[in-house]
Amino acid sequence: GAVVSQHPSWVICKSGTSVKIECRSLDFQATTMFWYRQFPKQSLMLMATSNEGSKATYEQGVEKDKFLINHASLTLSTLTVTSAHPEDSSFYICSALRSGGGEKLFFGSGTQLSVL
Amino acid sequence: DAKTTQPPSMDCAEGRAANLPCNHSTISGNEYVYWYRQIHSQGPQYIIHGLKNNETNEMASLIITEDRKSSTLILPHATLRDTAVYYCIVRAKGGGNKLTFGTGTQLKVEL
């Protein structure tokens, strides 16, 4: 199946610093990618839709200035958590939409962010 | 996206078939039924999807009722490695259409 690579797998940072998470579609081009976050024992919550070459669309309640999304190429989207605080600690997951042959979303392996 | 309803948890004996139900009574004509699963601390894994016909692949079978208001995911011979949270999601095709996760079913496969 299609592969989506997400990096890093986990990161620990100090409060106030920024953290960048990368999401790459390795064997297909993805004009659309999605970013989710997940708290322990909860379901995935959609944060934003990332479209190649245009601004991301954020879900209600998600601060666009805090969670910066860049989708500069058809195979790469990045999520930057700016000025991270402990409440931003969460599991972040990206997904890439593969069109053709039956539209499917493939997910990265996730990034566990811990803010001290 | 239409809402889906799934039982919060199910148990299954290893080697037996696991039948996971999903209710999507408000599904629209252009919405597909997707199934994903998530093993602890990993990203969701695509299993199968369909529109109105039953589908089968190497992982599972998807049975959709004729009125499309419900579906069942079948894992024919469950193994311990199938223990995961299974999500049933309905979504229309198109880049702008989101995949919205509900609470899913925690399947526990036991010896």
Q: Is the peptide bond before A8 cis (omega within 30 degrees of 0)?
A: yes
Cα torsion for B91, A6, A89, A68, to the nearest 10°? -80
Distance CA B15, CA B7 (A): 21
Q: Most B CBs within 10 Å: which of A7, A107, A111, as the mutation test of the B interface?
A: A107
Chain center to CA of A45: 11
Residues with Cβ within 8 Å of residue A82, at least 6 apart in sequence = A18, A65, A66, A67, A68
**Number of residues that make up chain B:** 111
pLDDT one-digit tens code per residue, A46-86:
999 998 888 899 999 999 999 999 998 999 999 999 999 99
Closest-CA residue of chain A to B46? A106
Residue A39 has pLDDT above 90, yes or no: yes
Residue closest to A38 by CA, chosen among A106, A96, A108: A108
CB contact under 8 A, A104 and B100: no
CB contact under 8 A, A43 and B43: no
The pLDDT mean for chain A works out to: 92
Average pLDDT over residues A89-112: 89
> For residue A17, what pLDDT is reported?
96
What is the band of A101 on the pLDDT scale with cuts at 50, 70, 90? low
Strands A90-98 and A111-115: antiparallel
Do residues A28 and A49 lie in contact, with contact meaning Cβ atoms separated by under 8 Å?
no
> For residue A83, what pLDDT is reported?
96
Residues of A in contact with B36 (CB under 8 A): 107
pLDDT in tens, chain B (111 residues): 568 999 999 999 999 999 999 999 999 998 999 999 999 889 999 999 999 999 999 999 999 999 999 999 999 999 999 999 999 999 888 767 888 898 999 999 999
> For residue B22, what pLDDT is reported?
97
Residues with Cβ within 8 Å of residue A21, at least 6 apart in sequence = A6, A7, A8, A11, A78, A79, A80, A81, A92, A94, A111, A113
| Total Cβ atoms within 10 A of residue A83 | 12
